[in-house]
A = this chain, B = another copy of it.
Amino acid sequence: MKTTLRTRKLEELNWMEFRRLVPKKADAVLVPVGTIEAHGVTGLGTDNQIPSSIAERIAEPVKALIAPTIHYGITRTLLPYPGSLTVPPEIFERYVAEVAASLAVAGFRRIVFLNGHGGNTEALKNVSSRLYRDKQVYSMVIDWWSLCDEEVRQVYGHTGGHAGTDETALVQVDHPEQVHSREYKKKLAFLAQPGLAAVPFPGSIILYKQGEGYPDFDPAKAEQLMTAVCAKVAATVLDVFARWSRIR
């Protein structure tokens, strides 16, 4: 598949183009999945926007197509914040499983769920573990924030938190107009503490370590993080693909 491909977005290909590509020239697909949830001073769609940004940057290097984003996921502790939305776990899981099964029937042999939201992880892993049994396709789930913990640390000296350092940075790259740094106040952030579970959680920015994870609005660092994250995700996907190719 040459780099001159007009688009890698499945939605923008017509069926005759698709027929020429899948599965002969492209049998992998990236599926961005997120949710609608309060995120400090970034948009409610933060968890959809970040995996979409990553997908657009890595599709070419990993030679995959990009499926449309699944926007509505499983929101829990921040659900009572204005604008947060949720879908019950079992409905979300069945909906995603059916989308994935349909991608398999359409000819894809490798499915990469690019997940933008921690609340979805368990459900996506369940989907993934049943996909091979049902449809004989290989699949993986990537939680970029966990996978790229080290990359965040290298750019910022510490890790991220929900709607904190790393998420704010990645939104800022493609959607700078949505990062309202003037609305930001330190008190939006709350430190997660063992032994405390609260719904709504007492801050729309969640820190995981005392004094670490506050957003940083420096655009240069944000770009640097995006580059590092995409490099790490792409390298990981390619490594898994290579190892998968040795199984059969």
Contact = CB atoms under 8 A, between A and B. Distances in A.
Interface of A: 6, 9-19, 22, 36, 38-45, 48-49, 67-72, 76-77, 79-88, 91-92, 94-95, 98-99, 102-103, 105-107, 121, 124-125, 128-129, 131-133, 136, 138-149, 175, 177-178, 180, 183, 187, 190, 193-200, 202-204, 236, 239-240, 243-244, 247-248
10 closest pairs, A vs B, by CB?
A: A11-B45, A146-B195, A147-B195, A18-B83, A68-B71, A15-B38, A202-B243, A140-B198, A19-B82, A143-B195
Contacts of A84: 15, 106
A79 B86 CA distance: 26
A144 B195 CA distance: 6
Given A71-B70, A88-B98, A91-B98, A198 B16 contact: no
A245 to B, nearest CB: 10
Nearest to A6: B177
B82 A87 contact: no
Say how many copies of this protein the assembly contains.
Answer: 6
A194 B146 contact: yes
A244 B68 contact: no
Given A9-B45, A11-B43, A147-B196, 15 more contacts: A10-B36, A11-B36, A12-B175, A15-B84, A18-B82, A72-B95, A80-B132, A82-B247, A83-B106, A87-B102, A91-B94, A102-B133, A142-B196, A144-B195, A202-B244
B79 A133 contact: yes
Given A183-B16, A248-B82, A129 B10 contact: no
Contacts of A144: 195
Most B CB atoms within 10 A — which of A70, A72, A82, A140? A82
A132 B85 CA distance: 11
B44 A13 contact: yes
A48 B236 CA distance: 31
Contact of A19 (B83, B193, B196, B202): B83
A247 B200 contact: yes
Contacts of A42: 14
Nearest to A203: B243
B83 A10 contact: yes
A160 B94 CA distance: 34
